[in-house]
Homo-oligomer: A and B are copies of this chain.
Amino acid sequence: MEKLRVFRLYVAFLVVCFQYCAADITFIAERFPLQGNRELSDVPWPMPTEWSRDNVTFTLSPTSLKFAPNLPECDVIHGAITRYRRLMSVNKETDPPAEVDIEGVNVIVENTTCEKYPYLDMDESYTISTGPSSISLTSQSVWGALRGLETLSQLLYEENGQVRIRNWTITDNPRFSHRGFLIDTSRHYLPLSIIKKHLDAMTWSKMNVLHWHIVDAQSFPYVSHAFPELSEKGAYSPRHVYTPEAVAEVIEYARLRGIRVVPEFDTPGHAHSWGKAKPDLLTPCWSDGKPYTAEYGQHTDRENFDPSRETTFQFLEEFMNDVASVFPDQFLHAGMDEAHYMWKEAIIWQDPLDNGVVVSNSTLIEVWKNKRNIRDCTNTSVDNFNEFALRAAKGGNRLIISSCWYLNYLCYGEDWRRFYKCDPTGFTVKREEMDQVVGGEACLWAEFVDGTNFLQRSWPRAAAVAERLWSPSHVTDADTAAFRLDAHRCRLLRRGIPAQPVLPGYCGDYDYGLEPEAPEGSGDEQTCPTGKAMQTETSSTMLLLSLIFTLAATSSA
């Protein structure tokens, strides 16, 4: 009987939710019908802190919806309204109706400062209430307004060519302030266009820190003002670089979406690529009393900065001062070293702590170690980093957890469930340790990732991490989350991100590369839409066939 009920809900869902969240995951095999509550599919991702809705619905027209912000001149607000108006609009919306219930959205920011850059501990709370004649979005800061607009955009749905919204009340704020994603642009170069799409997907999942592991042993794509020779010699090629202008473009794109850009210049290890231009920075290995004789497997020649030379520190200070003038965030990720040089504040990996080094109170420690055998996907436990986290917590520093969220370690199947299972405070024993955790990061190290597969591998798997970092700690039911994650995945597809499937099923009209529907007009609008490059290759024959079939299907329906 329960099954019948779920099935009825499912049919109801299909009818109600066609256009916006036209997602439909299905059983993995006939033997395993899906568990969980499909009725919650329309609740936004990540799940808000408090929400309620009833069956009252209101009509609205995204194209003529009037946004009334109290900070219309603030670029963060202005940009967001422009973006969300476009996202909320549906290609297929029939002629805007003469009468709608909801005519506008009031966007009220209580603290009327137009803050320029997002920061750790910024206020991202907001409230939404709908209808009967307008929608009210209230936040403390401009950052909360961004989060609220994203939520609002997820509430719309289409029914019979008419856009609607249910009667919602939402009060929301993030559980953690630091909700990051590490990208690695050294093992492979990531094109700027893909980094921007990724920033889009992050903001649509309410993540707020791009941890940019920009250089490493393999290549040095960062173009430094002060030391351009580092990338001239250390980048894969002159085209595999991030110019100062490109970096500024990423920072600006992220800022407008409430995302911090925390650069990482990993030192003193992983520094091979620095040595292409500056060989004296690195220390040779000695073996049998001879230099340049690395025992591969144990150490490598010219892998580490040379701490015996004063010039190493002079160079680093100059380099980092230059970096500080480029990246506005108050934090730099200083890799694994002791952060000798001047910086506003620093994040470091846990390793120095593990070796007994004392670090400053204001340093954030990123916990990444894990005892799990990365090739044994039969092990789905998430407590195998507890001892490392506890050790890192000892000095009282604030912590970022990434041990359980290494997206590069693939497992067959629904491996997002493993990420979803992890509570970043799960390791804690005492209340104070819990309070030390400021958030976490999904990490996609790029040994096997580049522009071809970066977005696919990141999404929607990273969204599982995003929900655990935003939503209340009791939001843990993966079976029910699966339906919402599927809807979110289809939403990402609709918005141009080639997010990979969660389970068998489809995304209505938004499946990637789906042949275009027969155009209503002459079909002469030959455009190249975002994320739908395949469509441009469709031959005119196919268009014609598609047209014929659509007509046939329509006439027989």
Q: Which of B187, B297, B513 contacts A504 (CB 8 A)?
A: B187
Q: How far in angstroms is the closest Cβ of chain B from A492?
A: 10
Residues of A138-186 at the interface with B, using a CB-CB cut-off of 8 Å, are none
Q: How many copies does the complex hold?
A: 2
- A239: contacting residue among B33, B194, B515, CB under 8 A: B515
Across-interface contacts of A342 in B (CB, < 8 A): none
Chain B residue nearest in CB terms to A30: B300
- A20-61 near B? 1/0 per residue, CB < 8 Å: 000010111111110000000000000000000000000000
| Nearest CB in chain B to that of A489: its residue | B452
Indicate whether A226 reaches chain B with its CB closer than 8 angstroms. Answer: no
Other-chain contact of A452, B32, B512, B517 (Cβ < 8 Å): B512
Residue of B with least CB distance to A448: B501
Q: How large is the interface on A (under 10, 10 to 19, 20 to 34, 35 or more residues)?
A: 35 or more
**A543 CB → nearest B CB, Å:** 11
Q: Is A325 an interface residue (CB 8 A)?
A: no
The docked-state distance in angstroms from the alpha carbon of A533 to that of B28 is: 32
| A 184-197 to B, binary, CB cutoff 8 A, 1 in contact else 0 | 00011101111000
Taking CB atoms, residues of chain B closer than 8 Å to A383 are none
* Across-interface contacts of A553 in B (CB, < 8 A): 232, 238
Known: A376-B377, A503-B447, A503-B448. A33 touches B296 (CB 8 A): yes
Contacting residue for A192 out of B238, B408, B542, CB 8 A: B542
Check if A27 sits within 8 Å of B409, measured CB to CB: no
**For chain A, what secondary structure do more than half of its interface residues adopt (helix, strand, loop), or is it mixed?**
loop
Given A31-B297, A448-B413, A549-B238, the answer on whether A501 and B375 have CB atoms closer than 8 Å is no
Residues of B with C-beta under 8 A to A446: 504
- Establish whether residues A514 and B191, one from each chain, have CB atoms under 8 Å apart when the complex forms: yes
User: Can you identify 9 A-B contacts, CB atoms within 8 angstroms?
Assistant: A188-B506, A188-B511, A191-B513, A192-B542, A408-B412, A411-B412, A414-B448, A448-B501, A528-B536
Give me the interface of A with B, judged by CB distance under 8 Å: 24, 26-33, 187-189, 191-194, 217-219, 223, 228, 232, 236-241, 243, 245-246, 249, 270, 272, 296-300, 303, 373-378, 408-414, 446-453, 456, 493, 498-506, 508-509, 511-515, 517, 528, 530-538, 541-542, 545-546, 548-550, 553, 556
